[in-house]
Structure 1
Amino acid sequence: MSLPVDTRVPWVAMYHSVGDCSDDPYRITVTPERLDRQLAWLTRRGLRGVSVAELLAAPTRRGLVGLTFDDGYADFLSGALPVLRRHGCTATLFVLPGRLGGDNAWDPLGPRRPLLTADGIRQAAAEGVEIGSHGLTHVDLTRADDLTLKAETVESRGVLADLLGTAIAGFCYPYGTVDRRAMDAVRGAGYGYACAIDPGPLNGPHALPRVHVGQNDTALRLFLKYRLHRLRRRPVEGL
Structure 2
Amino acid sequence: MSVPVDARVPWVAMYHSVGDCSDDPYRITVTPERLDRQLTWLARRGLRGVSVAELLAAPDRRRLVGLTFDDGYADFVTGALPVLREHRCTATLFVLPGRLGGDNAWDPLGPRKPLLTADGVRRAAAEGIEIGSHGLTHTDLTRADDLTLKAETAESRTVLAGLLGTDVAGFCYPYGTVDARAVAAVRDAGYDYACAIDPGPLNGPHALPRVHVGQNDRAVRLFLKYRLHGLRRRPVEGL
**TM-score interval, normalised by the smaller of the two chains:** over 0.9
What is the rounded CA distance, in whole Å, between the counterparts of 2:203 and 2:225 in structure 1? Answer: 20
Runs of 4+ in 1 over 4 A off after TM superposition: none
Q: Which residue is 2:123 aligned to? A: 123
Residues matched between the structures, number: 239
| C-alpha displacement of 1:72 | 0.1
Quote the offset at 1:158 in angstroms: 0.2
In structure 2, what residue type is equivalent to 1:55?
L
AA of the residue aligned to 1:104 = N
Match of 2:154 in 1: 154
Q: Which residue of 2 aligns with 1:109?
A: 109
Residue 13 (structure 1) aligns with = 13
How far apart, CA to CA, are the structure 1 residues paired with 2:54 and 2:201? 25
> What TM-score do the two structures reach when normalised by structure 2?
0.99
Q: Secondary structure at the match of 2:98?
A: helix
Cross-structure match for 1:87: 87
Report the AA paired with residue 14 of structure 2: M
Deviation at 1:82, TM superposition (A): 0.3
1:41-80 to 2 correspondences below 5 Å: 41-80=41-80
Note the C-alpha offset of 1:4.
1.8
Instruction: For residue 60 of structure 1, report the CA deviation from its aligned partner.
Output: 1.4
SS in 1 for 2:202: coil
In the aligned structure 2, how far is the partner of 1:93 from the partner of 1:76? 9
SS of the residue corresponding to residue 8 of structure 1 reads: coil
2:120 alignment partner AA = G
The amino acid of 1:199's aligned partner reads P
**SS state at 2:178 partner:** coil
SS in 2 for 1:67: strand
Query: Counterparts of 1:192 and 1:22 in 2: how far apart (Å)?
Result: 37
- Structure 2's unaligned 5+ residue stretches are none
Q: CA deviation at 1:5?
A: 2.0
- Greater shift, 212-221 or 199-208, is seen at 199-208
Q: CA separation in 1, counterparts of 2:60 and 2:80?
A: 27
The residue number in structure 1 matching 2:224 is 224
SS at match of 1:66: strand
Q: Could you tell me which amino acid in structure 2 is paired with residue 42 of structure 1?
A: L
| Distance in 2 separating the partners of 1:96 and 1:110 | 18
Quote the offset at 1:192 in angstroms.
0.1
Matches within 5 A, 1:31-42: 31-42=31-42
Identity in percent: 88
Structure 2 counterparts to residues 134-173 of structure 1, below 5 A: 134-173=134-173
3-state SS of paired residue (1:104): coil
Query: Any stretches of 5+ residues in structure 1 without a counterpart?
Result: none
Structure 2 distance, partners of 1:134, 1:73, is 12
Q: One-letter code of the match for 1:53?
A: A
Secondary structure class of the residue paired with 1:85: helix
TM-score (norm 1): 0.99
Aligned-residue Cα RMSD (Å) equals 0.5
- 1:133 maps to a residue whose letter is S
Amino acid at match of 1:210: R
